[in-house]
Structure 1
Amino acid sequence: MSPAMQMGCARAAAPSCATHGAWSVACDNTLSRDARGFDEDSNTGAEVVFTRAACPAARGTVTLYAPAPLARTAVRVDDRTLVLPDGAWVYAGDGASLTTDRPAAVAAFVDALRHGVALHVGADAGPVPLDGMVAALSGIDDRQGRAGGRTALVQRGPRRASAVPAAPAPAVLPAAPTVTLSRVEQHRLMARARRTQARFIRAQHCAPPGDRMRRFLKNGVHGLDDRNALVIMGCEMGPYQGSSLLFVASRTPDGPVQPARLPVPVLDPGDSGDQGPVLTNPDLDPATGTLDTVQMGRALNDCGMQAAWRWDHTHFMLARMTLQRPCGGSAPRGDWPVLYRSVM
């Protein structure tokens, strides 16, 4: 029985992501939602991000991001100045973002934008196209069961907040510290992986770079438990990130070596639901046994994927995943929508 079922909580939701015009919306396994809009064709464009947890009483939060400090009085919808009340909207420390979670302020902001063409936040930032915003926010209302209720972002109605379903609970994944291996065992397991998986390695077109670049690749052998080890084999180095092959090897003499299976949500038809065994910039924290990967969509780090897994003595369990497919916007780099979360 899964930890979430043991706690008597609702069944986890299937993560999803969708695109509506210039807006993308993501839903994680707890039904928390993230909708954001920006112009992909602009490297200096502003960005608007809506986030909301699935709890009946959870407030929606909206944040305006700009590539430079923005002025509250410079925010416009098309040719109309948008009033952002000083007591409701809060500047971040660098002055390049404004945030509110006040229900009245969020509702007024949505109403001001829903029939507009573009949101402008000043002369130094490109506008945020508003095509797709209503569809994205309606998706939040529908998925969280808020449509027709008082807490809806777009589809407001008379239903009480208490009618909103409870949020599914995330799984609990305890720490799984790695086991220290001798250098002899590390070398033996790496050599066995290279020997027994030679055909698979060639099929992945794995061509480690020369000595100068090889040092940037992740290599190593880590004990997962008394019976298994993780072999990380540096494979290829690109302009700003490298990839490695991962194998789970039995620590018994001449035991099997298999490509690592790393589960991820199935988001599109044809997805395998398996991220492994090729990971970009993999890293294993020995204190917690958390295996991480960060894959940047481009060098600006304004799109990409981050994921983490933990070993449960049989296989890897997904612990966290964030994903942003469109590149651009002004949100902090690497601050991508969450698709999966757990209690770690």
Structure 2
Amino acid sequence: MIGLLFLFAAADAVTPRPTPGPSKTFGDWAVACDNVQVCEMTSLIAEDEAADGSDSGASFSIARAAGPGGGFFFELSTNGGVAGPVSVRIDGKRIVDGIVANDGMTLAGDAADRIVAAMANGKRLTLNKKAGKEVAHASLSGSAAALRFIDAEQHRAGTVTAAVAKGPKPASAVPPVAALPKVSSIAASGVAAKVTPALIKTMRTLSGCETEDVQSSGPVTGNAIGGGKTLVLLPCGAGAYNFSTVPFVVTAGKPVIARFDSPPGWTVAEGTPTLVNADWDAKLGRLGSYEKARGLGDCGSSETYVWDGSMFRLIEATQMGECRGSINWLTIWRATPVR
């Protein structure tokens, strides 16, 4: 994720019901935009290479901030073993130079602009050491279509700011940066309710989870979330790399299945939200779900929520629908929690 783009959000707005942004796959690139039109595209291992288990050596991403002045960012993440001076080349032509440190490199401004301009008509992007040796690569098949998708989603098509769909309209024709929505959040406080066998039995009945699934993990515990309420994550099945739980909110000893303004990606029954590899951060007051589509972690989705006193509210969602080597899951929703 190119975190620098988050600096470009405007003042927060009134919270809408979450409507995640769109995502697409074009050839060997996945692309998505979030709810305030911050967009990012990331390279995938080419289909013929993915079939034989090849490693491209790095993943490459292009992101663009929203608004008339929104610029490009180019980021690469290597698979290790690359450090120091490098060059980014397209079809063998050196476009820009840079330095890889801590297995990554981020370029902005003119350097990123030059890369994007060359990508639109290129076939192969490579990362080369100073002496010219290639250490990573990506197919550019679909990259022009992904850039055109960003042009359309950010309403740049037909303007001088477009990457591909250029036109005569001035930058002022591009809509201004949209405001991030605000989400009410309360601090975790109080003492968690004791999770008794009788409470677990009631929750199991309400959730529809099998007895053996509930008993497959360690002791079930609760977390105080404020207002005399306790969050309990009831185990409800596990696989090789995903552990499912049904979230309950317990008040005065009575459990109810937790409510969400935007449900997690998995369910065990109609209307029953299921979190995967769930994590509760009491300090930040955040509940996370991270569901991997396969063990490598190169595809799946994640959601992060805060508690507003009555339901869990979505503040971030990411996804990667293609299992082709990219661990850079793309952001499709963001909101700012406010206490």
Fold shared, TM-score > 0.5 on shorter chain = yes
What SS class does the counterpart of residue 134 from structure 1 fall into?
Answer: helix
Within-5 A mapping of 1:305-320? 305-320=301-316
What SS class does the counterpart of residue 83 from structure 1 fall into?
Answer: strand
Aligned-residue offset at 1:11: 10
State which of 317, 332, 339 in structure 1 corresponds to 2:332: 339
Amino acid in structure 1 at the alignment position of 2:40: D
Give a deviation string over 1:48-102, Cα, whole Å, max 9, x none. Answer: 2111121221211122443342786664434x32331x4xxx42423x4443222
State which of 13, 25, 28 in structure 2 corresponds to 1:4: 13
What SS class does the counterpart of residue 151 from structure 2 fall into?
Answer: helix
Aligned-residue offset at 1:242: 2.0
Q: Residues 23 and 241 of structure 1: is their aligned pair in 2 closer, same or farther, counting only changes over 3 Å? A: same
Tell me the equivalent position of 1:186. 194
Amino acid in structure 1 at the alignment position of 2:208: I
Amino acid in structure 2 at the alignment position of 1:4: A
TM-score scaled to structure 2, two decimals? Answer: 0.78
Q: Residues 12 and 201 of structure 1: is their aligned pair in 2 closer, same or farther, counting only changes over 3 Å? A: closer
Tell me the equivalent position of 1:297. 293
Q: Is 1:44 the equivalent of 2:51?
A: no
Give aligned-pair identity as a percent. Answer: 26
Does the 8 Å contact 1:38/1:47 carry over to 2? yes
Give a deviation string over 1:121-153, Cα, whole Å, max 9, x none. Answer: 356656312121111111111111111222222
What SS class does the counterpart of residue 236 from structure 1 fall into?
Answer: strand
Greater fraction strand: 2
Q: Is 1:200 the equivalent of 2:186?
A: no
State which of 64, 70, 91 in structure 1 corresponds to 2:99: 91
Q: State the distance in 1 between where 2:313 and 2:17 align.
A: 17
Aligned-residue offset at 1:329: 4.1
Q: State the distance in 1 between where 2:299 and 2:208 align.
A: 28
Tell me the equivalent position of 1:30. 36
What SS class does the counterpart of residue 70 from structure 2 fall into?
Answer: coil
Q: Residues 298 and 173 of structure 1: is their aligned pair in 2 closer, same or farther, counting only changes over 3 Å? A: same
Amino acid in structure 2 at the alignment position of 1:202: C
Q: State the distance in 2 between where 1:196 and 1:231 align.
A: 9
What SS class does the counterpart of residue 300 from structure 1 fall into?
Answer: coil
Does the 8 Å contact 1:4/1:11 carry over to 2? no
Does the 8 Å contact 1:34/1:50 carry over to 2? yes
Does the 8 Å contact 1:52/1:60 carry over to 2? yes
Tell me the equivalent position of 1:238. 239
Q: Is 1:157 the equivalent of 2:153?
A: no
Does the 8 Å contact 1:280/1:294 carry over to 2? yes
Aligned-residue offset at 1:225: 3.3
Aligned-residue offset at 1:115: 2.6
Q: State the distance in 2 between where 1:202 and 1:83 align.
A: 56
Aligned-residue offset at 1:33: 0.4
The count of residues paired between Structure 1 and Structure 2 equals 312
Amino acid in structure 1 at the alignment position of 2:213: C
Q: Is 1:106 the equivalent of 2:119?
A: no
Q: Residues 163 and 12 of structure 1: is their aligned pair in 2 closer, same or farther, counting only changes over 3 Å? A: farther
Tell me the equivalent position of 2:4. none
Q: State the distance in 1 between where 2:248 and 2:264 align.
A: 22
Q: Residues 275 and 120 of structure 1: is their aligned pair in 2 closer, same or farther, counting only changes over 3 Å? A: farther
Amino acid in structure 2 at the alignment position of 1:222: N
